[in-house]
Structure 1
Amino acid sequence: MTVPLGGIPLSEHAAVYQVLSEAGFTDLWTSEVAGSDAFTPLTLAAAWAPQFRLGTAIAPVFTRGPGLLAMTAAALAEAAPGRFQLGIGASSPVVVGDWNAAEFTEPFQRSRDMLRFLRAALAGELVDGQFETFSVRRFRLERPPAAPPQILLAALRPGMLRLAAAEADGVILNWLSPADVGTALSEVKRDFEVAARIFVCPTDDADHARRVGRRMIAAYLTVPAYAAFHRWLGRGEVLAPMWQAWSAGDRKGALAAIPDEVVDDLIVHGSPAECRAKVEAYVDAGITVPAMALLPTPALESGNVTEIIGVLTALGR
């Protein structure tokens, strides 16, 4: 499950983690956009719920310096020995440039360089040298983790997918359907960890789920990297009207141009039991870590704890 859950303060997540554990969930994964950072919810989970595996999907490679990212990852690996996986990725021009005042340039090269730096630094090695996108002078972790975390790389298209296969311990996929998994993994050609964030809207109200899904699709799939990804997956023609309307500043038109079938491909919705079955289709396609991310529904936003627990339990089992 992706944490933290919306509407519930982090200070109250000890109870959330207990409910998720009882529901059968085994992993807690975070993202880092404009909500919580990727590490704090997992640090709390390391102390409150030591039964979980933990993972970031993703910590951006531009928004922290190499040394700081290594220290942060090492601290969490020390707090949750053998249970933490570090997922890194390029993120987006909005997150990196508009919100964090950093340059979003050469995302492939920066991701490769950070992956190589982290591999050495988290192993306790002295890192001293010039990478293509940054240089590091005589850095060594004072507290290298006894069990260095696996490093997973977020990837969308062939170049980054092949980099993940060659140098990372796994790959993180995003914004794809079960049928798209095979296309992505055809570039990997090795058995390793394959995580995917799967957006789940557990409601029988298909109109509600599609409204929420359209807003998210318009927000994400208009980002150049995701647009290129979906052209590569074969959705160029069906998404062209959305991209055209968005480029013209017609936000309502962009939403209206997204067909139901695209929403249904990319957003899991239905009853909790139906959602679980649809998530299992991702596993059948090759995903080893299906990280659900809950989208808002009337039940989840009701404040009724019994109802929320019922939804989580049905999703987990």
Structure 2
Amino acid sequence: MTARWGLTVPLTGVPLPAHRQLIERLPDLGYTDVWSAETAGTDAFSPLVLASQWAPTLRLGTAVVPVYTRGPGLLAMSAATVAECAPGRFVLGIGASSPVVVGRWNAAEFTQPYARVRDTLRFLRSALAGEKVSAEYPTFSVSKFRLERPPNPPPPIMLAALRPGMLRLAATEADGAITNWLSPEDVRTVRAEVGAETELAARIFVCPTEDAEAARGLGRLLISSYLTVPVYRAFHEWLGRAAALEPMQRAWAAGDRKQANAAIPDEVVDELIVHGSPQACRERLRCYVDNGLTTPVIALLPTGGDPVEQVEALAPR
């Protein structure tokens, strides 16, 4: 068994209030963490507030909250609220997100992502410690902000990071790095950038079915949607997949989504999507840990089966 074993919440197709019975049982099943996400479903903080009361031993984390879609003060307030509900058990994960989420969906300007993440991290360090913050950061300014309810203790802050610059920032100024869309072998490349002592968490897409073609079909849809985004394209070029993914990239750029999916090799899908029996999936997840991942976070993909039963079956043995 690994030291940490996380789950992404909420589960697809399960109403948020209906998670209570499962989340209450997660510690007994061997899960140590639940992590939320934020794109166009639930916000990142509300599921964790509920989980904080349903399972008072789980560690809770956001993976991740965009630094552009809330003002700095509101982001600090949201984090402080969860930290108050779960003292010492909340991890704030922040990241740049993408131009689609930030610009097209939230009417914000996606500029200088590295600098904005760095500046937000530095602001949050001060604000969550209860300090009055007046500062001119390179990407924004804050005047006389102080939390009325600073959390005790302040939560650790982790950064979403894909390539060397952000990974090194996570290692030197944050409390860890959060990544995704990588194979067990890729963990070694990422770990080399953050060093041996930095916590490294990763959301891992898990499709617990022995129907390999169905799993690969779903995996291709996800890969073409994500890895054509410039930041993920650059990430996989850095990881050495430029040639393998170039046919997909060309078809996607030409507007041929069907051909883009068909162009993704089976071996790339099998590297990036964990699928098979629950036992095979658990063994694959442990390969990530063996290669240097601190915190595997399962992102359960829909197979038509009962997601609650699948979470139970994927529990560490």
- TM-score, with normalisation over the residues of structure 1? 0.96
SS in 2 for 1:281: helix
Partner Cα separation in structure 2 for residue 14 and residue 196 of structure 1: 24
Report the CA distance shift for 1:297/1:90 in structure 2 as closer, same or farther (over 3 A): same
Secondary structure of the equivalent of 1:101? coil
Q: How does 1:102-141 map to 2 (within 5 A)?
A: 102-141=108-147
Report the 3-state secondary structure (helix = DSSP H, G, I; strand = E; otherwise coil) of the residue aligned with 1:316: coil
Shift, 1:17, TM fit: 0.6
1:167 deviates by: 0.2
Structure 1 gap segments, 5+ residues each: 302-307
- 2-structure distance, mates of 1:284, 1:190: 13
Per the alignment, residue 191 of structure 1 pairs with 197
Between the aligned partners of 2:130 and 2:175, the Cα distance in structure 1 is: 18
Q: Partner letter of residue 217 of structure 2? A: R
SS of residue in 2 equivalent to 1:238:
helix
Q: Does residue 312 of structure 2 align to residue 313 of structure 1?
A: yes
Paired with 2:156 and 2:210, the residues of 1 have a C-alpha distance of 38
Tell me the equivalent position of 2:263.
257
- Give the structure 2 partner of residue 243 of structure 1: 249
In structure 2, the gaps of 5 or more residues are 1-6
Give the ranges of 4+ consecutive aligned residues of structure 1 lying more than 3 Å apart after TM superposition: none
* CA–CA distance in structure 1, aligned partners of residues 123 and 139 of structure 2: 11
Q: Which amino acid aligns with 1:32?
A: E
Contact 1:23 1:314 in 2 (8 A): no
Give the secondary structure class of the aligned counterpart of 2:34. Answer: strand
Shift of 1:137: 0.2
Q: TM-score, with normalisation over the residues of structure 2?
A: 0.96
- What is the identity percentage for the equivalent residue pairs of Structure 1 and Structure 2? 64
Task: Report how many aligned residue pairs link the two structures.
Answer: 310
Distance 1:73 1:57 in 2: 13
Q: Deviations over 1:226-254 (max 9, x none)?
A: 00000000000010000000000000000
Paired position in structure 2 for 1:178: 184
Name the counterpart of 2:4: none
> 1:89, 1:155 within 8 Å by CA — same for their partners in 2?
yes
- Secondary structure (helix, strand or coil) at the match of 1:187 reads helix
Determine which of 237, 246, 262 is the counterpart of 1:231: 237
- Secondary structure of 2:60's counterpart equals strand
- 1:67, 1:59 → 2: CA distance? 14
SS of residue matched to 2:92? strand
Whole-angstrom CA distance in 1 between matches of 2:300 and 2:195: 31
Two-structure CA RMSD over aligned residues (Å) = 1.0
Cα deviation, residue 31, structure 1? 0.7
Letter in 1 for 2:315: G
* Of 53, 66, 78, the match for 1:60: 66
Match of 1:300 among 293, 306, 311: 306
2:192 maps to amino acid: S
User: What SS does the aligned partner of 2:9 have?
Assistant: coil
Question: 1:190: how far off?
Answer: 4.3
